[in-house]
Amino acid sequence: MLNSLAMRGSWILSLLLCSLVSNAQVPGVPAPAPVPKPVAAPAPAPLPPSIEGAAWLLMDYSTGQVLLGNNVDTRVEPASITKVMTSYVVSAEIKAGKLSPEDQVRISENAWRGGGGGTDGSTSFLPVNSSIALKDLLHGMIIQSGNDASIALAEHVAGSEEAFASLMNAYAERLGMRGSHFVNSHGLPDPEHYSTAHDIALLSRALIRDFPEDYAIYKLKELTLNGITQHNRNSLLWRDPSVDGIKTGHTAAAGYCLAASAEREGMRLITVVMGSSGEKKRADDSQALLNFGFRFYESHLIYAAGQSVVESQIWKGEQDSIALGLLEPLQVTVQRGKYDQIKAVMDLPKPLLAPYSKGQQVGTLRLSLDDQVLIERPLVALADVPEAGFFGRMSDELMLWWESD
């Protein structure tokens, strides 16, 4: 036995000596300089397009990342883009079973006077005291931008415009639209009626995600209602076949506004341009943002839902480790050629102490690029880790005390 140990020790010592000799430099002979590896320079990207609007942005639909923008959280008048919020509320109330698309909606005198044919704003020319199916009113509000249709829908859903506005604000808060406040369903000017480019993009994203059947109305180019045919004011629907929404807006105070969305090869982008100088300019700028985004950005799936991101040591539990992952897929959108530069950081409590339940947040995963945080997601337990018994907890308590000493 002793001879065996001696032989093994001699063998290990020989290896160490060989290692030292092989790493030593021979006197007088300089070590060869390492051959530098060629580094491929990233492909150059042009400057983003110059956008005229008072506030604007480009958002990736899948991740919700704002890729480009200016004054994205500045208050602006949303004008008729307000009707996207109105349609979201109507769709949500239908989904909740409180309304039916076949409901007959009466056109009140208030709706007729406030948004009818005798007003300066956009209208669906609905006769006073007539009745029309809710689904047709929704088409009229979205495609024709009818103010009368908006008011009639608000009154049917909530009894009055004031009550409907409170619903709008409740849904806006739920969607994270922290810079918005609504007092009417149509978007005509009011000092207390405002939004932001970012909030409008959040709303657009939620509409596409939550109510795809109703979002499909936004790509229709014309509608005949009450014998009158009107065209959709979103001119991008005629320019670009990848564009399928969403809504224009204009008042003298708000300027020309457009929220748009397009999908190409599985990638969807959302643009918002507020306060432009004309119909053509808002469309040109929106098109430029879409083209730039599709050309110079790409999306990558980082982790699938339920995929283990890390196995971390856990104390005082029935297991010694816990698998952490994400509840939803994690996708990130970056400029082409920069994917390999993304850095991931995990914030976890130390030490991790059981118990944890499946789906319970344990820490945070943060992705950054060029010292800018791209996205944050909660790291959750992928399985239950019950608390250990008394002796198991005491044993780990001693180990923790020993390691902290």
CATH number, domain containing residue 347:
2.60.410.10
Q: Is 308 a catalytic residue?
A: no
Helix (H, G, I), strand (E, B) or coil at 358: coil
Q: Is 185 a catalytic residue?
A: no
Domain range enclosing 243: 55-298
**What's residue 174's pLDDT?**
98
Shared domain check, 313 and 276: no
From the list 62, 83, 124, 195, the catalytic residue is: 83
Phi, psi of 135 (to 5 degrees): -60, -35
**What's residue 402's pLDDT?**
85
Shared domain check, 361 and 216: no
Distances (CA, A) of 8 to 1, 3, 11, 190: 11, 9, 5, 88
Of 266, 298, 330, the last residue of a domain is 298
**What's residue 353's pLDDT?**
94
Shared domain check, 252 and 322: no
Contact predicate 249/275, CB 8 Å: no
Shared domain check, 288 and 187: yes
* Cβ-Cβ contacts under 8 Å for 32 (sequence gap 6 or more): none
Helix (H, G, I), strand (E, B) or coil at 75: coil
Confidence of residue 226 (pLDDT cuts 50, 70, 90): confident
CATH number at residue 161: 3.40.710.10
Contact predicate 108/160, CB 8 Å: no
15 located within any domain: no
32 located within any domain: no
Of 240, 269, 298, the last residue of a domain is 298
124 located within any domain: yes
Of 259, 283, 298, the last residue of a domain is 298
Shared domain check, 281 and 161: yes
Shared domain check, 130 and 62: yes
Q: Is 145 a catalytic residue?
A: yes
Average pLDDT, the chain: 89
Q: Give the span between the Cα atoms of 379 and 325, in whole angstroms.
A: 5
From the list 62, 80, 261, 286, the catalytic residue is: 80
48-97 pLDDT, tens digit per residue, is 999 999 999 999 999 999 999 999 999 999 999 999 999 999 999 999 99
43 located within any domain: no
Q: Which residues of 209-235 are buried (b: 16+ CB within 10 A; e: fewer)?
A: eebeebbebbbeeebebeeeebebbbb
From the list 62, 87, 145, 204, the catalytic residue is: 145
Confidence of residue 18 (pLDDT cuts 50, 70, 90): very low
Q: Give the span between the Cα atoms of 126 and 225, in whole angstroms.
A: 8
Nearest residue to 82 (alpha-carbon basis) of 216, 184, 210, 215? 184
**Average pLDDT, stretch 339-358?**
94
- In this predicted structure, the answer to whether residue 315 has a pLDDT above a threshold of 50 is yes
Confidence of residue 404 (pLDDT cuts 50, 70, 90): confident
**What's residue 26's pLDDT?**
39
- In this predicted structure, the answer to whether residue 118 has a pLDDT above a threshold of 80 is no
Q: How many domains does the chain have?
A: 2
Shared domain check, 338 and 294: no
Return contacts of 304-307, CB within 8 angstroms, 24+ apart.
304/329, 305/329, 306/382
**Average pLDDT, stretch 169-187?**
98
CA dihedral 271, 275, 281, 286 (to 10 degrees): 0
381 located within any domain: yes
DSSP string, 170-223: HHHHHTT-TT-B-S-SS----TT-BB-HHHHHHHHHHHHHH-HHHHGGGG--EE
Confidence of residue 40 (pLDDT cuts 50, 70, 90): low
Q: Give the span between the Cα atoms of 194 and 251, in whole angstroms.
A: 13
Which pair of tokens denotes residue 234? 């979103």
This prediction has a pTM of 0.83
**What's residue 6's pLDDT?**
38
Shared domain check, 243 and 183: yes
276 located within any domain: yes
Shared domain check, 291 and 314: no
23 located within any domain: no
121 located within any domain: yes
Shared domain check, 359 and 250: no
**What's residue 267's pLDDT?**
96
- In this predicted structure, the answer to whether residue 367 has a pLDDT above a threshold of 90 is yes
Shared domain check, 281 and 237: yes
**What's residue 3's pLDDT?**
42
Shared domain check, 331 and 221: no
